[in-house]
Amino acid sequence: MADDEEAPQASDLSQKALRDELEKRGIKPTGFPADDIRLLQARFDQEWAAEKQERDAKRFAAQQRKQAEEAELRKRRLLERQRAEEEDAVNSDARVRFWIDLVKDNATPADTVLRVSPVATRAFAKALRDNTSLVTLDLCRCELKDDVGIELAKVLMTNASLRKVELGDNLLGPPTAAAMGEALSGNHSLTSLSLAHNALTANESDFKGVEALAQMLQRNTALTHLSLWHTGVGRDGGVALARAMGSNLTVLMLEVAPADNMALTETSALCAHLSRNRGRAESARLRAREELARKLVADKEAAERAAAESKRREEEEWIREQARLRTEARAAAAAQALIDEEAARVAREEEEIRKREEAKRKAEEGKKKGKKGKKGKKK
């Protein structure tokens, strides 16, 4: 069918055309023109509606593709423009180049306060994603807008070394709050975030960002301090925060100002939830301290037992060594006694031999003298 505003009218057809159209659609003519017209018109209407739905779907798909292409083109042009701006900012400021080199080399100080232009800050933020040397970052009062805030949120999706980020007194709005809510839902390292003095609800006209932060509080277990001081939380934001804090057990300080227009009910609920969390944290601290004390005592007792056991073993070893030395000494003395006894025996035998030889010699000499005396008497 043609792309008409309405379905064809069966009543405009001749009897032959009416019969042909019915047969083409597998409908047997009734022979009554009014009934045939009604049957064919119902089918015309059905076909026209289906084709119109298909045409509309194609138009919508084409519009969606066109919008997506235009959005992608705008995004690409934005990124190209931002990249060019960042290159100019970095190349024109030696201090910015120095800081970015430190970030890439993981050589930044652990605690950093940076005051440079928003464009330079955006370039700095993009370099932070793989950095592990930075622990606390202060970017307050830098006139940062949501383009920088969103880049910093992207950093927090992957960076596991940052513990504290200060973004107070900038020009951040709902998009940054929403991006931070999404990023911190999966962050397990950041413990402190300040968004103070930023219009996070655009003067209470857009609560999506604060609501995203509230949803994050239901999942995040690392954050202990969140400052939303003078951010225009408003009644709706207060309701979302109070509800979320009901299930959060780790935030100990959540700062909002009287001028943020939270209702008294939600303010009281926040105070109660924070008091509960502080009580839990204090109890946990006391338990940890007691556990540490018990561990120190146990370690001391174990060290004393180990020292006593070592001393006992040393004494036993000394006793065994002394026994061995005494045994060796007795064996050596016994061996020496045998040697001395044998030497004495040998000496006695030698003396006996000497004496016998001496007696024999003397006897022989006596015999010789006796023979000489007998010869002299005969003369």
Domain that holds residue 166: 93-262
Last residue of a domain, one of 212, 227, 262: 262
Examine the domain organization and report whether 142 and 165 are in the same domain. yes
In SS3 terms, the chain reads as CCCCCCCCCHHHCCHHHHHHHHHHCCCCCCCCHHHHHHHHHHHHHHHHHHHHHHHHHHHHHHHHHHHHHHHHHHHHHHHHHHHHHHHHHHHCCHHHHHHHHHHHCCCCCCEEECCCCHHHHHHHHHHCCCCCCCCEEECCCCCCCHHHHHHHHHHHHHCCCCCEEECCCCCCCHHHHHHHHHHHCCCCCCCEEECCCCCCCCCCCCCHHHHHHHHHHCCCCCCCEEECCCCCCHHHHHHHHHHHHCCCCCCCEEECCHHHCCCHHHHHHHHHHHHHHHHHHHHHHHHHHHHHHHHHHHHHHHHHHHHHHHHHHHHHHHHHHHHHHHHHHHHHHHHHHHHHHHHHHHHHHHHHHHHHHHHHHHHHHHHHHHHHHHHHHHC
Last residue of a domain, one of 79, 106, 136: 79
pLDDT of amino acid 137? 98
Residue 282 lies in a domain: no
pLDDT of amino acid 377? 55
Residue 271 lies in a domain: no
pLDDT of amino acid 307? 94
pLDDT of amino acid 82? 81
Residue 297 lies in a domain: no
Residue 61 lies in a domain: yes
Residue 343 lies in a domain: no
Examine the domain organization and report whether 134 and 256 are in the same domain. yes
Examine the domain organization and report whether 98 and 59 are in the same domain. no
Examine the domain organization and report whether 228 and 255 are in the same domain. yes
Q: What is the pLDDT of residues 257-312, one digit of tens each?
A: 999 999 999 999 999 999 999 999 999 999 999 999 999 999 999 999 999 999 99
Record the pTM: 0.67
Residue 21 lies in a domain: yes
Residue 267 lies in a domain: no
Examine the domain organization and report whether 112 and 148 are in the same domain. yes
pLDDT of amino acid 373? 64
pLDDT of amino acid 205? 95
Last residue of a domain, one of 79, 109, 133: 79
Examine the domain organization and report whether 106 and 36 are in the same domain. no
Residue 357 lies in a domain: no
Q: What is the pLDDT of residues 132-175, one digit of tens each?
A: 999 999 999 999 999 999 999 999 999 999 999 999 999 999 99
Split into its structural domains, the chain has a count of 2
* Residue 140, domain CATH: 3.80.10.10
Examine the domain organization and report whether 164 and 243 are in the same domain. yes
Examine the domain organization and report whether 100 and 249 are in the same domain. yes
Examine the domain organization and report whether 64 and 106 are in the same domain. no
Per-residue pLDDT of the chain (379 residues), as tens digits, is 545 578 889 898 988 898 888 889 899 989 888 988 998 899 989 989 999 999 999 999 999 999 998 888 888 887 888 888 899 988 999 999 999 999 999 999 999 999 999 999 999 999 998 899 999 999 999 999 999 999 999 999 999 999 999 999 999 999 999 999 999 999 999 999 999 999 999 999 999 999 999 999 999 999 999 999 999 999 999 999 999 999 999 999 999 999 999 999 999 999 999 999 999 999 999 999 999 999 999 999 999 999 999 999 999 999 999 999 999 999 999 999 999 888 999 999 888 999 888 888 888 888 877 776 665 555 5
Examine the domain organization and report whether 158 and 203 are in the same domain. yes
Examine the domain organization and report whether 139 and 226 are in the same domain. yes
Examine the domain organization and report whether 108 and 217 are in the same domain. yes
